[in-house]
Amino acid sequence: MVMSGKHFNVHEVGCCIKYFIFGFNIIFWLLGAAFLSVALWAWSEKGVLSNISSITDLGGFDPVWLFLVVGGVMFVLGFAGCIGALRENAFLLKFFSVFLGIIFFLELTAGVLAFVFKDWIKDQLKFFINNNIRAYRDDIDLQNLIDFTQDYWECCGAFGPEDWNLNIYFNCTDTNLSREKCGVPFSCCTKDPAEDVINTQCGYDIRAKDDNEQKMFIHTKGCVPQFEKWLQENLTVVAGIFIGIALLQNIITDLKG
């Protein structure tokens, strides 16, 4: 049985491959929709949807953009792959495959450029983190993102706790009347397993103490070197993701015939 237009011979398409692609993409599609919903809800709570110009008010990075971009890409890809596999539509499957190829190429290019221009990337990453340190108290989503990053990678600042001197609430200047003066956020603190409740004041005045005493209470390594360390330790996982994308593209190519 041959289908007209841009459709395939039914016998050319294996049912297992077809429904595997369909199942994978419907999950991808729903996740994309969830990400977009969370992003729109977050902007609604912050009043951005009622005042679009406020998007540029934040001095640092708004994490909502991450949800919007990732959710948008996942939604479009999931839709194309889901409908393309179910209907065996050549255009949608080709669009899905090409889009995956572009993403794979961009990831590969980013990896090569990061290796070649390592020092420049490190400087840009430092600039990006420090810029967001300045805006730490300006946006609750940014604050949560920084706290999560410092807690997960057990780091503090871009290259060390002294980077928090850039923030008006944490700097050590005489004009700073904040109680957090010469301190760091609680996410910089080392965790005590015996404590059930997080001590949000554990970083108060810590940078006014000497280095040896600081090491007893907070993480003194910066997030940039800790990220580099994490990337090296998880290189196999990153490579596996690349290989997985490549294999998925081959499956889609087989599906297209």
Main-chain dihedrals φ then ψ at residue 220, nearest 5 degrees: -105, -5
d(CA 124, CA 113) in angstroms, rounded, equals: 13
Closest to 167 in 3D by CA, of 114, 131, 220: 131
Cβ atoms 185, 147 nearer than 8 A: yes
For residues 31 and 74, is the Cβ–Cβ distance under 8 A?
yes
Q: Which residue has the tokens 């991450």?
A: 66
Q: Which 3 state secondary structure label does DSSP give 62?
A: coil
From the list 236, 198, 61, 31, the residue with the least C-alpha distance to 143 is 61
- What is the rounded CA–CA span in Å between residue 7 and residue 169? 62
Q: How far is it, in rounded angstroms, from Cα 160 to Cα 162?
A: 6
3-class DSSP assignment, residue 2: strand
- Cβ proximity of 127 and 56 under 8 Å: no
Q: CA distances (Å), 170 to each of 131, 133, 163, 250, in order?
A: 14, 10, 10, 52
What residue ranges define each of the domains in the chain, with the CATH number in brackets?
10-117+235-256 (no CATH), 119-230 (1.10.1450.10)
Q: pLDDT tens per residue, the chain (257 residues)?
A: 444 444 544 444 456 666 777 777 788 788 888 888 888 887 776 666 666 655 555 556 677 888 888 888 888 888 887 777 777 777 777 777 777 777 777 777 777 777 788 788 888 888 888 888 998 988 888 899 899 999 999 999 999 999 999 999 999 998 999 999 999 999 999 987 777 778 888 999 999 998 888 999 999 999 988 888 887 777 677 666 666 665 665 555 555 55
Q: What is the dihedral of CA 62, 67, 68, 73, to 10 degrees?
A: 140
C-alpha–C-alpha distance, residues 225 and 221, integer Å: 7
